Amino acid sequence: MYKYTDKELKEIYDNIVILHAKNEQKNKHILDYFDKKKVQHKPYTLKTGDYSFMIKAIPKLGIVRDIYFDNSIAIERKANLEELSNNIGNDRTRFTDELMRAKFKNMLFIIALEQGTWGDLSWHRYKTKYDNERFISTLNAFQIDYNVHIEMINDKIAFGHYIKKKFEMYAKRYFLATEI
């Protein structure tokens, strides 16, 4: 069994390409972050979520072809609690269909909010009429029923960094668990 060194893992991270959904809207700030930090990214047709990643082939490390993780992990970006409330209130069928697809694939599926906290949700500090107790109950049910992770980043500027670090950690865990 071969274990990657820290230097080799760094090379793997450097070959991560973040895949962003072609239909993702209002994500210029995220793509600008990727460009500024020289994070490779490309538009891609994702069936689930808004962001996933791939690792380009690195033959000298035994990675002989590109590895796509779009059926293993996805991040569904929500700008704020208003957008999320609309998804579970008005677009519930479409939204739960996406959650079911992720669960069926046994994916790590993350709903990540750029703005908003559990406190904002608890105290109804959002601009919709969706009842906060019902909102909280629905999110808790989604986490249990669909094995969804909900993360409230609450920092639009840091969101690109959050995506990059989440995928780097997933890659690290993947390669630490992989025998070559």
Please indicate, yes or no, if residue 92 is contained in any of the structural domains. Answer: yes
Average pLDDT, the chain: 94
Provide the pLDDT confidence category of residue 178 given band limits of 50, 70 and 90: low
In a domain, 51, yes or no: yes
pTM comes to 0.93
Please check the confidence at residue 132 and state whether its pLDDT lies above 90.
Answer: yes
Q: Which tens digit of pLDDT belongs to each residue from 153-177?
A: 999 889 999 999 999 999 999 988 7
Number of domains present in the structure of the chain: 1
Instruction: Give per-residue pLDDT as tens, 30-41.
Output: 999 999 999 999
Domain coverage including residue 111:
6-177
The residues, ordered by sequence, that sit 6+ positions from 9 with a Cβ below 8 Å of its Cβ are 171, 172, 175
What's the pLDDT score for residue 1?
60
User: Which one, of 68, 26, 73, lies nearest residue 44 by Cα?
Assistant: 68
**What pLDDT score was predicted for residue 8?**
93
H or E element in which residue 31 lies:
helix 28-36
Which percentage of the chain shows pLDDT scores above 90? 88
Q: Judge whether 1 lies within some domain.
A: no
Q: What does the pLDDT read at residue 23?
A: 86
Tokens of 150: 């909900």
C-alpha 53/C-alpha 44 separation (Å) is 10
The confidence score (pLDDT) of residue 113 equals 96
Number of separate helices (H) and strands (E) present in the chain: 7, 7
- Note the pLDDT of residue 176: 81
Q: What's 73's DSSP letter?
A: E
Token couple for 169: 């950690």
Please list, residue by residue across 52-61, b when 16 or more beta carbons sit within 10 angstroms of its beta carbon and e when fewer do.
bbbbeebeeb
The 10s digit of each residue's pLDDT in 80-121 is 999 999 999 888 999 999 999 999 999 999 999 999 999 999
* pLDDT number for residue 13: 94
108-113 vs 148-152, strand pairing mode: parallel
In this model, does residue 180 exceed pLDDT 80? Answer: no
pLDDT digits (tens, 9 = 90+) for 36-70: 999 999 999 999 999 999 999 999 999 999 999 99
**Domain CATH code at residue 104:** 3.40.50.10130
- State the Cα–Cα distance between residues 80 and 57, nearest whole angstrom: 36
Whether residue 179 is predicted with pLDDT greater than 70 in this model: the reply is no
